[in-house]
Structure 1
Amino acid sequence: MTSLTPLGDPSSSTPVGPPPPPLQQPAPVVPGRTLGIVGFALSFFAVLNLAGLVLCIVALVRSKRAGSGNGFALAGIIIASIGIAIAVLIAALTIPMLVDAALTCQRLGDGVHQVGNATYTCTPTSFRVFHSM
């Protein structure tokens, strides 16, 4: 016959309950992480690209000084830089065309004018240009 030991018997070698959970360390605080996330979010908006770029650069510098990386800040810098480059390219192509149309309307005067395959509609406050194919 075998003898049974009660569950709470201290002479028993097996533990009664599950082991305690391991202590969890809090996540390390990365300086500039929040700033990097905000800059990353702003980098997606055309009007706020420059602000997003500045915030991401500041966040990346703070993170690097603390010896850690900041992926959001780096991604925000890349996205904002591409957005700014596209905006500059569009402005570089659009502004000369608008200036040329305004100068042509100034030279032609008010009214509707046909110049080549373009129709200029000029008023004292605005102009419109249609190109016929």
Structure 2
Amino acid sequence: MHLELITHDAHAPGHTAIWLPEPRILIAGDMLSDDELPLPFAPDDVDAYLAGLDALEPYVEQAALIVPGHGSVGSDARERLAADRRYFAAVLASKEPDDPRLADPEQRVALARLQRIVS
């Protein structure tokens, strides 16, 4: 089976996702979760994370199935990418994100950390 490695620095330097073109499956690693928010650790990580989302977008557009490292397997890769972008846009605009993942108290901690990083 043919596969393609998608290496970027979003979640961590050298983070890698795997694209399986035949079945159109994107194994996203620690990105595009339906239950965990993006987790940059330092100010420079925010731009890297956004660039990582850009790197994944062509595969997301084709994916029949998304397999994240955390969360559920699903057929909603486009929605997950859009949700992560909306989340970053809100935080970078100093607004409260409207994201269902924030119902989890642990994700509130992740939000607070990101808000400190970008302030």
TM-score bin, normalised by smaller chain: 0.3 to 0.5
Which structure shows the bigger proportion of residues in helix conformation? 1
Higher strand proportion, which one? Answer: 2
TM-score (norm 1): 0.30
Higher Rg? 1
* TM-score, length-scaled by structure 2: 0.32
